[in-house]
């Protein structure tokens, strides 16, 4: 196997010209955040340490990637939920053990490959050409001390990728495997089901007081009071500030003069056309026939016949009934060839034959509206509002910065607001549902922040979607608590009854599955439930989109022998389904021949990924890997 890997790896390295480096392997370099200390390594692989500096660089790159990708959705809690810290360390470890294996195999990355990788990376290009200055700036931003450091990293990545490709590419796929995969994916089945609706058996279920209390005791988590919070807020609203602001006439005039080019209304033209359609794949014979037809129309127009009358008669366009009338339109509204022709015409003229992707056109230009510029009087009010809004936005921002400074010096939001003569509002204790109707929490950003903040945490100023700035202080957080049974008894009984009806429906479906000597029609009639029959469909659901054909049902039905019941009743949208495989339809051999190469690649990729996963598990097992959890927690 090593010889096979070596052959594939060297072949791959000789050919590789990468457009970029995979994110998972751009996790290398030496940073300065933890340098100078005597801290322990985050991990060791075969006694070789992963330093704090190395891990920090890798982890920080991942954090920056998620920050740029997620934008406003980015948060520390989300990063924690994605397990980025542990995943980063595992990536470093995997890379190390792969590099060790590559060294043992004698794999290297030639300078030409490294050069091609760098110069062909679109990130380092301007106008399609490699840009040295851009390259230098971006590698510094990525945390590399120099371009040479980055190129060394690229060299290692090339080797690691080569090894991975060698392992993945060394698999062999037989024709039998391809046929088996094809048969599995393209086989069709007809499924029949009797679905027992829990609602239909609801009246057969009774819930005693003891039953309800037992349900309550085992489901107390479902009967909790909602989390409630009390908050203080200070809102700086640009719209409120704008009420007391004014704009000088000279400012409006200056704004008009500066933006005068934006107030130009483009020239418009009114035209009509006659279209003889052509398909993109039309044969030469069809094209010739269409050309003859449009030329005959052109001759009639030149002979003096009315354009709109001919359009109603022969045009193959939806505008035909209106005499080909296209109405008024600006430059760029029509497809390019048509657009260029119509805006080069004189009023009242008829074009020559114009060809577009739709076919052959003749165009008559009925009228022209010259380009105009809106006057100062027309734009004055709009400009005044815009200037006021801009000034109010700036004032609101400046006030928010002043409030932020005041919060750093005062011991409460109230005290900071008083310094700036701003009003503070206080809420009652509200749940998330109640907050959606409270004017203080109408903005989703404010609402989300409020319910994610604990009392005593630093006061933050949040920019709301309407442009306001809101300082938010959570003064009390009332955690959920189990509600007394007496307060939720009706809900408990209803929930317990639904659960009992579901269980009864499943039991009936189980009974149907195990019945013998009766047809499906007889069983459906006996139990008063609906019978469903699918169209022939594949295991991925293609062929029938009925809602009862859930993914779980298909998985089980396609692993069940033809003519047999699926081994258990399945929950579907309509209730509990007793399912039988009515018929199996083998795929056609002709279809196999057309899909053979596509499936071969799919099987090769799947087997290659499995082989690579086993390889990684094997080399990790042979390596001595020690993770310093205490040091990792520092990040």
Q: What is the pLDDT of residues 439-456, one digit of tens each?
A: 889 888 899 899 999 999
Q: If you average pLDDT over every residue of the chain, what do you get?
A: 88
Both 418 and 460 in one domain: the answer is yes
Q: What is the pLDDT of residues 275-321, one digit of tens each?
A: 999 988 888 999 999 999 999 999 999 999 999 999 999 999 999 99
Both 204 and 282 in one domain: the answer is no
pLDDT of 38: 54
Both 419 and 536 in one domain: the answer is no
Average pLDDT value for residue range 413-423? 95
Both 203 and 283 in one domain: the answer is no
Q: If residue 575 lies in a helix (H) or strand (E), which one and from where to where? A: strand 575-585
Both 348 and 408 in one domain: the answer is no
Both 361 and 424 in one domain: the answer is no
Name the nearest CA neighbour of 623 among 44, 45, 41: 45
Domain at 565, CATH number: 3.10.50
Both 272 and 347 in one domain: the answer is yes
Name the nearest CA neighbour of 393 among 498, 446, 450, 464: 464
Both 441 and 540 in one domain: the answer is no
Q: What is the pLDDT of residues 502-561, one digit of tens each?
A: 999 999 999 999 998 899 999 999 999 999 999 999 999 999 999 999 999 999 999 999
Tally of structural domains, the chain:
4
Domain at 137, CATH number: 1.10.4030
How many Å apart are CA 547 and CA 529, to the nearest integer?
17
Q: Which domain holds residue 196?
A: 188-221+486-585
pTM, rounded to two decimals:
0.52
Instruction: Supply angle C-alpha 103, 105, 110, rounded to 5.
Output: 70
Both 526 and 447 in one domain: the answer is no
Q: What is the dihedral of CA 216, 221, 223, 226, to 10 degrees?
A: 170
pLDDT exceeds 90 at position 633: no
**Cβ 319 vs Cβ 326: under 8 Å:** yes
pLDDT exceeds 50 at position 18: no
Mean pLDDT lowest for which of 7-11, 297-301, 363-367, 599-603?
7-11
Both 344 and 408 in one domain: the answer is no
Both 58 and 29 in one domain: the answer is yes
């Amino acid at each position: 196997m090593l010889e096979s890997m070596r052959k594939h790896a060297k072949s791959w390295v000789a050919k590789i010209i990468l457009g970029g480096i995979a994110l998972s392997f751009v996790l290398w370099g030496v940073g300065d955040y933890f340098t100078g200390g005597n801290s322990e390594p985050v991990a060791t692989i075969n006694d070789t340490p992963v330093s704090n500096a190395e891990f920090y660089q890798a982890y920080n790159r991942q954090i920056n990637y998620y920050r740029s990708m997620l934008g406003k959705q980015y948060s520390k809690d989300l990063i924690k939920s994605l397990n980025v810290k542990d995943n980063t360390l595992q990536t470093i470890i995997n890379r190390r053990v792969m590099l060790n294996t590559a060294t043992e195999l004698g794999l290297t990355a030639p300078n030409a490959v490294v050069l091609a990788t760098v110069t062909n990376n679109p990130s380092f290009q301007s106008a399609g050409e490699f840009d040295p200055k851009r390259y230098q700036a971006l590698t510094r931003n990525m945390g590399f001390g120099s371009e040479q450091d980055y190129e060394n990293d690229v060299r290692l990545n090339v080797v690691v990728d080569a090894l991975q490709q060698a392992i993945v590419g060394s698999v062999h796929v037989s024709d039998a495997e391809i046929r088996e995969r094809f048969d599995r994916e393209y086989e069709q089945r007809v499924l029949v089901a009797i679905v027992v609706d829990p609602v239909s058996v609801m009246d057969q279920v009774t819930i005693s007081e003891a039953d309800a209390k037992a349900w309550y005791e085992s489901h107390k988590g479902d009967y909790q009071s909602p989390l409630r919070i009390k908050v203080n807020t200070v809102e700086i609203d640009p719209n409120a500030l704008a009420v007391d602001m004014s704009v000088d006439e000279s400012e409006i005039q200056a704004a008009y003069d500066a933006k005068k080019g934006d107030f130009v209304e483009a020239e418009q033209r009114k035209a009509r056309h006659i279209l003889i359609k052509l398909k993109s794949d039309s044969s030469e014979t069809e094209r010739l026939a269409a050309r003859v037809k449009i030329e005959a129309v052109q001759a009639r127009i030149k002979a003096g016949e009315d354009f709109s009358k001919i359009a109603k008669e022969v045009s193959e366009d939806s505008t035909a009934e209106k005499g080909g009338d296209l109405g008024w339109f600006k430059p760029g509204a029509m497809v390019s060839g048509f657009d260029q022709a119509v805006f080069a015409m004189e009023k009242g003229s008829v074009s020559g034959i114009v060809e577009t992707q739709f076919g052959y056109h003749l165009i008559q230009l009925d009228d022209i509206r010259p380009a105009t510029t809106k006057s100062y009087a027309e734009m004055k009010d709009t400009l005044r509002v815009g200037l006021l809004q801009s000034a109010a936005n700036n004032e609101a921002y400046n006030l928010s910065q002043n409030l932020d400074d005041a919060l750093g010096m005062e011991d409460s939001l109230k005290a900071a607001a008083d310094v700036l003569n701003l009003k503070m509002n206080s809420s009652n204790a509200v749940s998330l549902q109640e907050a959606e109707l409270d004017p203080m929490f109408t903005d989703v950003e404010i609402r989300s922040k409020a319910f994610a903040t604990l009392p005593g945490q630093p006061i933050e100023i949040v920019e709301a979607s309407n442009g306001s700035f809101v300082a938010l202080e959570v003064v009390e957080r009332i955690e959920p608590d189990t509600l007394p049974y007496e307060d939720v008894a009706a809900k408990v009984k209803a929930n317990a009854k639904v659960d009992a009806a579901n269980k009864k429906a499943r039991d009936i479906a189980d009974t149907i599955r195990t019945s013998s000597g009766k047809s499906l029609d007889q069983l459906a009639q006996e139990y008063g439930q609906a019978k469903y029959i699918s169209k022939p469909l594949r295991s991925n659901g293609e062929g029938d989109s009925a809602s009862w054909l859930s993914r779980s049902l298909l998985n089980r039905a396609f692993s069940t022998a033809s003519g047999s019941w699926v081994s258990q009743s399945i929950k579907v949208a309509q209730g509990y389904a007793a399912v039988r495989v009515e018929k199996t339809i083998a795929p056609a051999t002709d279809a196999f021949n057309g899909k053979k190469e596509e499936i071969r690649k799919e099987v090769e990729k799947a087997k290659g990924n499995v082989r690579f996963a086993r390889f990684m598990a094997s080399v990790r097992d042979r390596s001595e890997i020690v993770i310093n959890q205490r040091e990792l927690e520092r990040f």
